[in-house]
Structure 1
């Protein structure tokens, strides 16, 4: 059973890469080396998921026949929708925090 199809694995990969890049490029001197603050983590996840949302809209554009699955999906949903949910969760947590 495959949980992704096509480029659907980018749904998890792009936020992880964005967090690692942000950790490497913008090191916070107030935390121990290799750690990051919650706002940095939320920013990295939000940026990575936003990039993946746009990528999902571009890759899955076009008309599909009724009942035909998306070409690029993650957990049987087109890859842009779980990424959009990650962006919303990051924004809500940042607003509440």
Structure 2
């Protein structure tokens, strides 16, 4: 399992990074509806509404180790919209994250 989207700035211990990636993969495999790039440093991910508890937990933990990520969760359509924004210097991380979602 590739952790290419995990940035060097991440403070999560290296041994735990594949586990976190797997958590995101499982959540997205089960709840992902669409992905839309809204700008160079922003994507919107539409998820099923039942993703909320697991999503809230994951983004809270991800924000602690990769503080440059900015996450928003809003109602949208018939589910949730996860907004993911990074500083311009971290767009390569967002590119890799978006590419992983597209798989």
TM-score (norm 2): 0.29
TM-score (norm 1): 0.30
Q: More strand per residue: 1 or 2?
A: 2
Q: Which has the higher contact order (CA 8 A, sep 6+)?
A: 1
Q: Which one has a bigger Cα radius of gyration?
A: 1
